[in-house]
A = this chain, B = another copy of it.
Amino acid sequence: MARKRGSHADITGPRVRAAALRLFARDGYAAVSMRRIAAEVGVQAGALYLYTPDKQALLFDLMQGHMEDLLAAWGAESQGGDAPARLDRFARFHVRFHLDRPEAVFIAFMELRSLTPGNFAAIAALRGRYEAALEGILREGVAAGAFTVPDTRLAAMALIAMLTGVTTWYREGGRLARAEVEGIYADMARRAVGAG
Chain A residues with CB under 8 Å of chain B are 26-28, 30-31, 110, 113-114, 150-151, 153-155, 157-162, 164-166, 168-169, 175-176, 180-181, 184-185, 187-189, 191-194
Contacts and interface: CB of A to CB of B under 8 A. Distances in A.
Nearest to A150: B184
A134 B191 CA distance: 19
A158 B31 CA distance: 29
A37 B43 CA distance: 35
A166 B160 CA distance: 11
B162 A176 contact: no
A150 to B, nearest CB: 6
Contacts of A193: 188, 191
A26 to B, nearest CB: 7
Given A154-B185, A158-B162, A161-B165, 5 more contacts: A153-B169, A154-B176, A157-B165, A158-B165, A161-B162
A114 B31 contact: yes
Interface of A is mostly: helix
A164 B157 CA distance: 11
B27 A28 contact: no
Contact of A26 (B110, B113, B187): B113
A159 B157 contact: no
Contacts of A31: 30, 114
Nearest to A189: B192
B165 A160 contact: yes
Nearest to A26: B113
Nearest to A194: B191
Query: Which are the 5 A-B pairs with shortest beta-carbon distances?
Result: A161-B165, A162-B162, A30-B30, A30-B31, A192-B192
Contacts of A160: 165
